[in-house]
């Protein structure tokens, strides 16, 4: 029933112009900002941890702006998942740094695209899958009917989705060996502690995946970070590509993971209100460390 309601809502939202879906999302986010709830509480904790130097009133204002952007992230998904290639292309108003992708792909080692949960991160893989052979990981949501819609939407421009299990990881290695692009969300807390190490993120130990670093270290594929900035008043999106540091491909796994987090932090500081602060990024702390949530 829940999946059916969501699909019906998505159908309604998909028929609206982006400006209207963003306005509706901002209104939903405003409600999250004024009514006490778990997501607001998580965002407030994260912002206090990551910006301790910020005045309390400034953090409160940033939290409110973030929750309005969080609302937009929900409503805009219907647009991003349903527009045809031409309509989708019109949503992207500016692209910065794509020459990094083109230059890196010429070397034949493939490319690892690191996409933090920043801005319209769904848009980045859709944008790239129209232009480059792309393989990305996929976690099946609990609602199977909704999952089918999600997968079809993400694959409609040519992307290949694979599971996060052994076969899927092997598919990522094969794609890089074939000189293709793979996309990974680097700031997702791994389900298994064996697939993670703790590395600083805004100075706080954060359980961070090692998969991206291991891919980079073994294949020597370059790593490019990307995010899609949500422009004001529903004007569209500005896609940013930034080169990862060379040390991500080095021999020291913990240093590589730390550099990944440092690069994610660099991206977030450029657009803090559009980061996914409602996510419990610091939930798995080292033994004996303080619990934050």
C-alpha to C-alpha distance for 185 and 123, rounded to whole angstroms = 13
Which residues are paired to 285 by β-bridges? none
Say how far apart CA 213 and CA 36 lie, in whole Å. 38
pLDDT at 166: 86
Mean local confidence (pLDDT), 147-158: 88
Strand-pair partners of 160: 135
Angle between helices 253-270 and 211-219 (to 10 degrees): 120
Do the Cβ atoms of 16 and 264 come closer than 8 Å? no
Give the closest residue to 284 by CA, choosing from 197, 217, 225, 221.
197
pLDDT tens digits, 200-235: 999 999 999 999 999 999 999 999 999 999 999 999
Contact present, 104 and 222 (Cβ < 8 Å): yes
From residue 14, how far is each of 4, 88, 95, 228, 265 by CA, in Å? 15, 12, 24, 19, 32
Is the model more confident about 148 or about 274?
274
Cβ burial 61-93 (10 Å sphere, 16+ → b, else e) = ebbbbbbbbbbbbebbbbbbbbbeeeebeebbe
Q: Across the chain, what does the average pLDDT equal?
A: 93
pLDDT at 82: 92
- Binning pLDDT at 50, 70 and 90, where does residue 142 land? low
Is a pLDDT exceeding 80 seen at residue 139?
no
Tell me the per-residue pLDDT of 14-42, one tens digit each, with 9 for 90 and over: 899 999 999 999 999 999 999 999 999 99
38-68 pLDDT per residue, tens: 999 999 999 999 999 999 999 999 999 999 9
Range 70-84 average pLDDT = 95
Confidence category of residue 147, pLDDT binned at 50, 70, 90: confident
Q: pLDDT-based confidence at 106, cuts 50/70/90?
A: confident
Q: Could you tell me the residue ranges of all domains in the chain? A: 2-274
Distance CA 126, CA 136 (A): 11
The pTM assigned to this predicted structure is 0.94
- For the chain, strand residue ranges (E) read 92-96, 111-114, 134-137, 160-162, 181-184, 196-201, 204-209, 223-230, 237-243
Please give the distance of CA 230 from its chain centroid, rounded to a whole number: 13
Q: Residue 136's pLDDT band (boundaries 50, 70, 90)?
A: very high
Query: Is the CB of residue 108 less than 8 Å from the CB of residue 222?
Result: no
Query: Among the CATH numbers 3.40.1840, 3.40.50, 3.40.1130, 3.30.70, which is that of 2-274?
Result: 3.40.1130
Residue given tokens 């803090």 in the structure block: 272
CA-CA distance, 193 to 26, in Å (whole number)? 36
pLDDT score for 165 = 82
CA distance 111 to 130: 16
Per-residue pLDDT tens for 184-199?
999 999 887 778 999 9
Encode pLDDT of 247-278 as tens digits.
999 999 999 999 999 999 999 999 999 999 99
The per-residue pLDDT for 1 is: 62
Closest CA to 11 of 146, 113, 137: 146
Rg of the chain, C-alpha, whole Å: 19
How many Cβ atoms sit within 10 Å of the Cβ of residue 130?
16
Q: What is the DSSP letter of 246?
A: G
Q: Where are the alpha helices (DSSP H) in 51-129?
A: 56-82, 85-91, 98-105, 121-129
């Amino acid at each position: 029933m829940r999946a059916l309601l969501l699909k019906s809502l998505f159908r309604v939202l998909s028929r609206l112009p982006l400006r209207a879906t963003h306005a509706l999302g901002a209104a939903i986010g405003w409600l999250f900002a004024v009514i006490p709830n778990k997501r607001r509480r998580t965002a407030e904790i994260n912002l206090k941890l990551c910006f301790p130097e910020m005045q309390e009133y400034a953090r409160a204002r940033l939290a409110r702006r973030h929750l309005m952007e969080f609302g937009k992230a929900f409503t805009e998904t219907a647009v991003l998942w349903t527009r045809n290639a031409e309509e989708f292309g019109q949503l992207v108003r500016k692209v910065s740094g794509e020459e990094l992708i083109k230059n890196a792909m010429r070397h034949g080692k493939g490319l690892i695209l690191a996409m933090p949960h920043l801005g319209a991160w769904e848009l980045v893989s859709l944008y790239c899958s129209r232009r480059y052979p792309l393989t990305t990981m996929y976690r099946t949501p609990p609602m199977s009917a909704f999952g089918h819609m999600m997968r079809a939407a993400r694959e409609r421009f040519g992307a290949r989705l694979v599971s996060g299990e052994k076969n899927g990881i092997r598919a990522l290695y094969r794609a890089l060996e074939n000189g293709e692009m793979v996309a990974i969300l680097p700031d997702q807390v791994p389900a298994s502690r064996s697939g993670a190490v703790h590395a600083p993120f805004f100075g706080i130990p954060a359980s961070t995946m090692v998969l991206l670093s291991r891919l980079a270290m073994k294949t020597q594929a370059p790593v490019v970070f990307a995010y899609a900035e949500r422009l004001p008043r529903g004007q569209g999106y500005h896609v940013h590509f930034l080169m990862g540091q060379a040390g991500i491909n080095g021999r020291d796994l913990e240093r590589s993971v730390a550099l990944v987090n440092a690069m994610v932090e660099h991206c977030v500081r450029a657009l803090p209100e559009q980061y996914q602060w409602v996510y419990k990024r610091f939930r798995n702390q080292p033994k004996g460390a303080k619990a934050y949530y």
